Amino acid sequence: MKKKNIIIIVILALVAAGLLYFVLRQQHEMREMVEQLEYEKEELQDEYEDLALQFDGYRDIQLSNDSLTQKLAEEQQRVRDLLEELRITKVTNARRIAELKKELATVRSVMQVYVQQIDSLNQTNERLTNENREYRTRNEQITAENNLLTRDNDRLQQTVTRAAMLEVTNFRVTTLNKRDRKTSSFAQIQKLQFDYTILRNITCTPGIKTVYLRLVRPDGLVMQKSPDHLFPFENSRIEYSVKQDIEYGGEEMSATLYWPVEEILEAGVYNADFFIDGNLVGSFPFTLKK
């Protein structure tokens, strides 16, 4: 009887030992499985966070395609939502973690498509930018060339204008008395005679020319018979003293102008300015002495 009891006790001990070993082994395997799930969850979470950072990087890119921008924003929000769900999902919920892993793969594939579209847009934009830069550079070159041509044309026009300008020379003043005879007496001066010569210029257009003479007194005032005696000069109208119409044919010619003295003359330095075709063609000082 004792022997039988001993055998039963041994068997029960062996069974208990086996059960204990089984339980311990199951616990060990469970811990390993949980550790593996925790590792996979952490790894998956890192991948989601990396993907979220990639979306953040593309968010800062200025895209001209509004539809693509909207899709990127939607996928970015989707990654954020999935990442938040992964964080609160229990490590033992292996099925949901596996589903989230598949979701990650799907989002990555979608993002790859968007990345290709973005790269294509960037390449197109870069090409257009380069073309615009080349276009602007070419336009600047053309503008510079046109400006240079304009300056050259202006200089040429100025040269032609100067070449066509008449020139007055051989200016001489004679003081006349009331009998139109030359006098040296200041008190007897009744008329001023101005002789001048227009030089030969075959470039100038021939025809009737109006010669305007401006006599400026020592005090700086223009001598005039009427305040209406004005003529155009440099976008304005200025006073003249006397004018004369001549027929100019391109060859040198001489002419004379007269100023009847009806005012009290001042002794001093006067100036005689000649204008033809809106140009100052001669300026000569002269002195009247008492």
- pLDDT above 60 for 30: no
pLDDT at site 35:
56
User: Total structural domains in the chain?
Assistant: 2
User: Is residue 67 situated within a structural domain?
Assistant: yes
Share above pLDDT 90 across residues of the chain, in percent, rounded to a whole number = 38
**Cβ atoms of residues 211 and 244 within 8 Å:** yes
| Residue 46 pLDDT class (50, 70, 90 cuts) | confident
- pLDDT above 80 for 161: no
Share above pLDDT 70 across residues of the chain, in percent, rounded to a whole number = 57
pLDDT at site 138:
79
- pLDDT above 90 for 178: yes
Question: Does 8 share its domain with 119?
Answer: yes
Question: Does 8 share its domain with 121?
Answer: yes
Could you tell me which residue, 205 or 266, shows the higher pLDDT?
Answer: 266
pLDDT in tens, 72-109: 666 667 767 766 766 666 656 667 767 767 776 776 76
User: Is residue 87 situated within a structural domain?
Assistant: yes
Question: Does 175 share its domain with 275?
Answer: yes
Question: Does 6 share its domain with 122?
Answer: yes
Lowest-confidence region among 16-30, 35-49, 243-257, 271-285: 16-30
User: Is residue 135 situated within a structural domain?
Assistant: no
* Spatial separation of the C-alpha atoms in residues 54 and 61, rounded to whole Å: 12
User: Is residue 160 situated within a structural domain?
Assistant: no
Question: Does 180 share its domain with 91?
Answer: no
Closest to 242 measured CA to CA, from 263, 267, 262, 223: 223
Closest to 194 measured CA to CA, from 177, 213, 221: 213
Question: Does 13 share its domain with 123?
Answer: yes
- pLDDT above 70 for 280: yes
pLDDT at site 159:
44
Largest CA distance in the chain: 187
User: Is residue 153 situated within a structural domain?
Assistant: no
CATH code, domain with 193: 2.60.40.10
Question: Which residue range forms the structural domain that includes residue 182?
Answer: 168-288
User: Is residue 221 situated within a structural domain?
Assistant: yes
Question: Does 123 share its domain with 6?
Answer: yes
- Which backbone phi and psi does 18 adopt, to 5 degrees? -65, -45
- pLDDT above 70 for 60: no
User: Is residue 106 situated within a structural domain?
Assistant: yes
User: Is residue 136 situated within a structural domain?
Assistant: no
Question: Does 7 share its domain with 117?
Answer: yes
On average, the pLDDT of the chain sits at 78
pLDDT at site 172:
97
**Cβ atoms of residues 206 and 246 within 8 Å:** no
Question: Does 106 share its domain with 203?
Answer: no
Could you tell me which residue, 169 or 18, shows the higher pLDDT?
Answer: 169
pTM of the model as a whole: 0.49
Residue 191 is which amino acid?
Answer: K
Structure tokens given for 163: 């070449």
**Cβ atoms of residues 176 and 185 within 8 Å:** no
Q: Across residues 103-118, what is the average pLDDT?
A: 68
**Boundary-marking domain end, from 76, 99, 127:** 127
